[in-house]
Chains A and B, each alone.
Chain A
């Protein structure tokens, strides 16, 4: 946290300097320096976390990567239909980006090999919410605040973060009042009827758990996206935990699980502690944390069942 405060102070200082000198403003980022002489109007986002941050700030990007996927997997904040797609997230079309004549490109270090090519098109701001040893939520906050500065929308960025903090605090209070915050939870996503993604303490979702005062049942660090793919039997090692299933689930899953005594004898199932929440994109920015926290609180207060739906 102290780092992000420090960054904010530096940024504010930068702004003060720029305001007095009234020349180009610069920002340090992961792959160099971003220099802008005026506020960008046409922004292209090459990943969904950046798309989300821009939309939260009320800026509609002029082009986004994997637009169809965004509308299916991330959903909120909603992306206007008219925004052009510029290719996939792993291999965007440079030509399409150039055609849009952007004045700012937001990307992550996953695109590192292409940074030089992107710089030829427009000033590029590189920030990776997800990479080895990074803390996604503080990175996502940093991204939102810096984008706020760059786009001259700092107040809005601050307001969004304050709003999120308030929501999280309110949900925590609700959970505490219902006494639903004492038992660990395992957050899982069924991949098929034998394997789950389990969300690890180094992921974005952990922020939601921390903010709600909940303990993550899964103690191991996951990959840098913050999850591990495990066999379903791995949950059995944590008999005290509640199981929160994040949608979507595959058709036929509940019937399959019902037939398996492995599942029906699972302590959490025996205690009716299977909860199900709406799909929330686990690799986004600050917004999914708020959504998950609200959904999770609702589900935990509402009470569990003995199977997925």
Chain B
């Protein structure tokens, strides 16, 4: 764990740049926030806006009821999220952990979505209740899934990630089907700190204060955690209980805070990273400075969002957009300075420490092929009509192929390429959490697409394809540039990918806040609208994938050798840098072709290789083959379901893949616990 290595280098003095940076951040943010008002109010009147107003001067009323509560809420929430983030990182022993990693935000949003649709009275009664319940549901699932596995940091993160995907996909399903009814949720999901009253702040501050105090009381046991699980246990600390209590408080904090203003996620990640970068060494320092940086960062981000709104056409720029824009560079900064590569979760062992028994690849392969064939037949034949369900007679399959065939073929191919790409990347980085989604290659493709939607340009199918390819290549280029100095090591790649994802996310939030209909269109693509695929496109994709698969035969040896470590690989005669570059290019190409079809957010690339491992395929070649088949099967089923479940409506297939895959993953994880 990284905490132990940091403890060893502990120095008594506090680096001077820490308070300096915090002071600069706060003063800069406050000054920037106040500056537009100084033209109309003198500084004394503006400061007094925090407690009073002059009812004869509407500017003063506005400052007291709009500006001052907004500043206060930003600081309060920023501090709360910063503290929660620091605690989360401590508990999970992972520099990438944040409340987001535990699925809290996705859970909270899920709760609010359900409440808006089915129980608006709950929302009117208390806006927190639904969000907290959703956040707790998410964390409960994470805990329940990881309980038997000793609650290890790696597993918790993995489970949290899957829960995030799963609940995020559920949210999206509701938004897509009921978009008109959920207009306000688009804003909520984007995070806006706009205020016109002191009530939200007055509601929030006692809760945040109580939760913060409770977290501070956990400081001492948390410090024990720094010694590592074994030593802490021997000192009599009940590690599991402490972790759970701390996480529970973190959930309460994030969900409470976020229920009022929406998802302003990256503060909880960026603040602790910044504090550590600037030299906060021990736990107390990290907690204190993360809290302070959180407040300053969110105020700065919110001010930038406000400025952007007034500079543009007055249209709201949500604060979630700017927090993501600030979060991205900070993660990139972190990327440059984290020298140790051994902190990454997933690198030490398989996620569960459980090695499934080997099974013959031929048997598994033919079972999967049979299932795929069965899916094909059912998908072609058994379908809902406007009146009733019916079997399409074989003689009419020609006609049916036009509507059902190409999309299914493309979905299968996308699954195959994601399975291959996922295996490639996991083998390459030696990290079971790595996947095209997490490396940001799909995120890069999506980013370009978001920009196109933002610009309002109309693009055809070819345009979409080109845009996605350009985006994926751009993301890849950036990754290579960033990772070259680290010799393409796993951690840096993942961090870089995360930063890319953050940028994409900021664009997505902006689109979501700007209006329901545009957002629905974008979300549809983001989650993979297979229905748009024509026969020629599907066939082109088929030949592309076949071509790449041939190339893959040449990379089996490097893939087997690379995880042994750079030194061993070099001594075995492998040009490490060049081999990694070639693998990266192949993975990017595979990802780009899948992203065009299925969108960037299905997590088939994460699941299929894992499934292959669970099915007992350990050597590179076998894992790739089985992962490809499993990925194809997963998306074939998803495509069929997407067409039939809400017929004549349809859900994007990528979204269903996330749901189907998520269920599988949760089931698999809990099953490991038992055995």
Contact = CB atoms under 8 A, between A and B. Distances in A.
Interface of A: 69, 72-73, 84-88, 90-96, 98-100, 109-110, 112-117, 120, 131-132, 191-195, 197, 200, 218, 220-225, 227-234, 236, 239, 250-252, 256, 259-263, 265-267, 283
B230 interface: no
B125 to A, nearest CB: 10
Interface string B519-559: 01100100001011010000000000000000000000000
Contact of A195 (B62, B120, B316, B520): B316
A267 B316 contact: no
29 contacts: A91-B649, A93-B649, A96-B648, A99-B385, A100-B386, A109-B458, A112-B458, A113-B464, A132-B456, A191-B183, A193-B196, A194-B195, A195-B187, A195-B194, A197-B515, A220-B315, A222-B315, A223-B514, A229-B187, A229-B316, A229-B513, A229-B515, A230-B314, A231-B192, A231-B194, A234-B309, A260-B65, A261-B64, A265-B58
Contact of B66 (A220, A233, A252, A259): A233
Contacts of B403: 94-95, 98
A239 B61 CA distance: 13
Contacts of A194: 192, 194-196
A91 B514 CA distance: 21
Interface string B492-528: 0000000000000000000001110110110010000
B663 interface: no
Contacts of B234: none
B532 A113 contact: yes
Given A96-B647, A221-B313, A232-B194, 9 more contacts: A90-B176, A93-B648, A95-B643, A114-B531, A116-B461, A195-B316, A223-B518, A231-B194, A265-B61
A93 B120 CA distance: 31
A229 to B, nearest CB: 5
Which 9 pairs of residues, A with B, have the shortest CB-CB distance?
A231-B194, A262-B65, A132-B456, A96-B648, A228-B315, A220-B313, A93-B648, A192-B184, A95-B403
Interface in B312-341: 313-316
Contact of B532 (A117, A218, A232, A251): A117
A131 B62 CA distance: 36
B61 A93 contact: no
Nearest to A281: B180
A21 B421 CA distance: 60
B466 interface: no
Contacts of B531: 91, 93-94, 114
B647 A262 contact: no
B652 interface: yes
Contacts of A120: 402
Task: Determine which residue in A90, A250, A256 has the highest number of CB atoms from chain B within 10 A of its CB, and name it.
Answer: A90
B460 interface: yes
A145 B183 CA distance: 33
A113 B14 CA distance: 59
A239 B58 CA distance: 10
Interface string B430-467: 00000000000000000000000000111111001000
A223 B309 CA distance: 14
Chain B interface size band reads 35 or more
Nearest to A190: B184
Nearest to B403: A95
Task: Determine which residue in A87, A100, A267 has the highest number of CB atoms from chain B within 10 A of its CB, and name it.
Answer: A87
B94 interface: no
B197 interface: yes
Contacts of B385: 96, 99
B571 interface: no
Contacts of A256: 197
A222 B515 CA distance: 10
Nearest to B194: A231
B395 interface: no
A139 to B, nearest CB: 14
A224 B192 CA distance: 22
B55 interface: yes
Dominant SS at the B interface?
Answer: helix
A224 B402 CA distance: 34
A131 B184 contact: no
A227 B192 contact: no
B24 to A, nearest CB: 28
Given A116-B534, A228-B315, A236-B62, A195 B648 contact: no
Interface in B392-430: 402-404
A44 to B, nearest CB: 12
Contact of A69 (B176, B180, B457, B650): B180
Contacts of B355: none
A261 to B, nearest CB: 6
B456 A195 contact: no
Contact of B648 (A72, A86, A117, A231): A86
Contact of A87 (B315, B456, B650): B650
B521 A117 contact: no
B194 A112 contact: no
Given A95-B383, A100-B386, A233-B196, A88 B650 contact: yes
B532 A114 contact: yes
B177 interface: yes
B456 A224 contact: yes
B517 A225 contact: yes
Nearest to B532: A113
B386 A90 contact: no
Contacts of A132: 456-457
Task: Determine which residue in A92, A192, A234 has the highest number of CB atoms from chain B within 10 A of its CB, and name it.
Answer: A192
Contact of B187 (A86, A192, A224, A283): A192
B58 A267 contact: yes
B199 interface: yes
Contacts of B404: 95
Contact of B184 (A116, A191, A220): A191
A218 B648 contact: no
A94 B524 CA distance: 16
A88 B177 contact: yes
B8 interface: no
Nearest to A94: B403
B118 to A, nearest CB: 15
Given A120-B402, A262-B197, A283 B648 contact: no
Nearest to A283: B517
B514 A229 contact: yes
Contacts of A100: 386
A110 B124 CA distance: 36
B61 to A, nearest CB: 5
B652 A91 contact: yes
A197 B314 CA distance: 11
